[in-house]
Amino acid sequence: MNMSSLPSFQLLAMVGLPMLNLAGHCDPYSNGCTGLSSDIKSCQAKGIKVLLSLGGGAGSYSLSSFEDARQVATYLWNNFLGGHSSSRPLGPAVLDGIDFDIEGGTDQHYDDLARHLSGYSNKGKKVYLSAAPQCPFPDAWIGNALKTSLFDFVWVQFYNNPPCQYTSGDVANLEDAWNIWVSDIPATKIFLGLPASPEAAGSGYIPVPDLTSKILPAIKGSAKYGGVMLWSKYYDDQSGYSTSIKSHV
C-alpha cells in the first residue's frame, strides 16, 4: 500500500514553549497524553511512521532567528524524538520525525529548523522530515526549506487552491502543478494530498472514479510518486475513501 496513512500530532509554536494540540483527545498539560506512548509504539511495531506536525491553519506562529530555530529543534529532539527530558508530553515513545504544516506567519528560518532537526539523525535513529505545502508553486511559507534536499516526504495539498486542483473533468491544472513539484523539489517522495470527503475541504474533492481513472494514471509514472495523502483520518472513517482507492494507489 503506497498511500500515506502516517499519524501525526500537531504542535503550534507560540511565544515561549510550543503548544501541543491533540484535538481534545487528552490534556498534555496534566500529563494526560503520556498513555499514548504504548499506542505509538504499537503503530511503529507495524512499520507505521509517527510524526509530529508543526503549525497548521490556525494560530499565530513563526521562527524569529537561526538561534530560535536551533532552540525549537532542541526542544523537539528532547521532548518528542530521541533526546531526553523529564517532561515528555507523549511519554517515552520516540517519534519518527517532524512534519512541517506551515500555513501562516513568515517563511523565515524553516530551512534552518530542517537542518538542525536533520542533524540529529547523526545521533542514532533517523529523523524523518515531511511537509504539507499548498499546491501553488513555490509554497509561500516553506518553499525555501524544501530546497534543502532534507525532506523525505512532501504531501502537497491539492485542495482549497482552485488554480492547481482538479475540477470536474479537467485534469490539466492539477497535472501541470504536479509536474512542477516532482521536477523542482528535491524530496524523496511526493504525495498527492486530497480531502477524504467533500466536507473535509472547501474545494478540491475528487470523486473516486475520477481519481482512479483520470488522475492517478496521469501522475503514477513519476519517479517521485509516493502515493496519496488524505485529510483527514476522521473524514476518511466517515467516507471510506482510502478503502475505495487503495488498490489503485
Is 103 labeled as catalytic in the residue annotation? yes
Cell 512532501, located at residue: 154
**Backbone region of residue 226 per phi and psi (left: phi > 0; alpha: psi in -120 to 50; beta: other values):** alpha
Contacts of 188 (CB under 8 A, 6+ apart): 151, 152, 153, 224, 226
- Grouping H, G, I as helix, E, B as strand and the rest as coil, residue 9 is strand
Geometric angle at alpha carbon 151, from 8 and 61, rounded to 5°: 60
Rounded distance between C-alpha atoms, residue 155 and residue 109, angstroms? 20
| Orientation angle between helical segments 110-119 and 66-79, nearest 10 degrees | 40
Q: Report which secondary-structure segment, H or E, holds 174.
A: helix 172-184
Query: Which residue among 67, 103, 175, 199 is the active-site one?
Result: 103
Q: Is 232 helix (H, G, I), strand (E, B) or coil?
A: coil
List helix spans (H) across 3-109. 36-45, 66-79
Q: Catalytic residue positions?
A: 103
